[in-house]
Amino acid sequence: ELYQGFQSNPGDNVAHFAHLGGMLFGFFLIKYWKKNP
């Protein structure tokens, strides 16, 4: 997905990185919730 983001035009880049950022944010949010119930 990251490689594809670099290959696409700049408009697509924003969408790809926003999607990856959202996945990372959700992942850390879940880890945080499990640590702090």
pLDDT on residue 27: 94
Instruction: Please tell me whether residue 35 adopts helix, strand or coil conformation.
Output: helix
Tens digits of pLDDT across the chain (37 residues): 555 545 556 666 677 777 888 899 999 999 999 998 7
CA 22 to chain centroid, in Å, comes to 4
**Position of tokens 């924003």?**
14
